[in-house]
Amino acid sequence: MSADDAPEPDTPAGTDDEETAVAQLFGQWDVTNVEFSDPSTERYITVTPIAHTMGRHSEKQFKKSEISIVERLINRLMQTDENTGKKQLATTIVKDAFEIVHERSDENPVQVLVEAVENSAPREETVRLKYGGISVPKAVDVAPQRRVDQALKFIADGVYGDSFKTTTDAEDALAQQLIGAASNDVQTYSVNQKEEKERVAAAAR
């Protein structure tokens, strides 16, 4: 048998032909190519494929910033009288909302969430200072971590207001909030609240 007739060796393992398995959020959303436009909050917006860490972050103050922004949104949605402790229900709402976001915008819903948080995070707010028994409002800059906290609060409040005692489902309300905030639509509750806080702060400078 000549050299030309010899069988070719098997392709070695680990070549480029093999697909690398990448963990995805809810088994379908890629979290590796998410882009950030706000450098101040980037450190506090963590994106991971894990949506439930079983409360591991509760052992240390401020460790919440190390868990996924998606899980933080889920936890925020639980902070109502009706949904307290219903983690599975809140997770299902977010999962269904992400599918609606993808259908309507044809974008990665994780990227949409990050943009919504960045656009809903207030940069200024007011505090009360007392001078001789008189309270005077004073404008102050908002810390990056608090900016993210406030953005999640505004988004959750908007979902609650749009879906409680209405015909709108919670997942549909959440999808509307995320899409509107991601496009910086001032008609969206979370963006409107951010603009209001900054307007009041500007008047108190």
Cα dist. 90→19, 71, 84 in Å? 33, 10, 10
90 Cβ contact partners less than 8 Å away, ≥ 6 residues apart: 74, 75, 77, 78, 83
Mean pLDDT of 138-159: 94
Print the domain residue range for 46: 31-119+143-185
- The per-residue pLDDT for 5 is 57
CA angle 102, 108, 111 (to 5 degrees): 125
195 Cβ contact partners less than 8 Å away, ≥ 6 residues apart: 186
Q: List pLDDT tens digits, range 8-48.
A: 555 444 444 444 456 788 888 888 889 999 999 999 999 98
Q: What's phi and psi for 139, nearest 5 deg?
A: -80, 135
Q: The domain that contains 47 carries what CATH number?
A: 1.10.455.10
Do the domain assignments include residue 67?
Answer: yes
- The per-residue pLDDT for 24 is 86
Write down the mean pLDDT value for the chain: 86
**Distance in angstroms (rounded) separating the CA atoms of residues 67 and 45:** 9
How many domains does the chain divide into? Answer: 1
Do the domain assignments include residue 204?
Answer: no
Q: List pLDDT tens digits, range 76-120.
A: 998 877 778 888 999 999 999 999 999 999 999 999 999 999 999
79 Cβ contact partners less than 8 Å away, ≥ 6 residues apart: 156
pLDDT band at residue 63 using 50, 70 and 90 as cut-offs: confident
Q: What is the pTM of this model?
A: 0.83
**Distance in angstroms (rounded) separating the CA atoms of residues 76 and 118:** 16
Do the domain assignments include residue 98?
Answer: yes
Count of Cβ atoms closer than 10 Å to residue 153 Cβ: 15
- The per-residue pLDDT for 70 is 93
Do the domain assignments include residue 84?
Answer: yes
Q: 127: part of which helix (H) or strand (E)?
A: strand 124-131
Do the domain assignments include residue 96?
Answer: yes
Q: List pLDDT tens digits, range 165-192.
A: 888 899 999 999 999 999 999 999 999 9
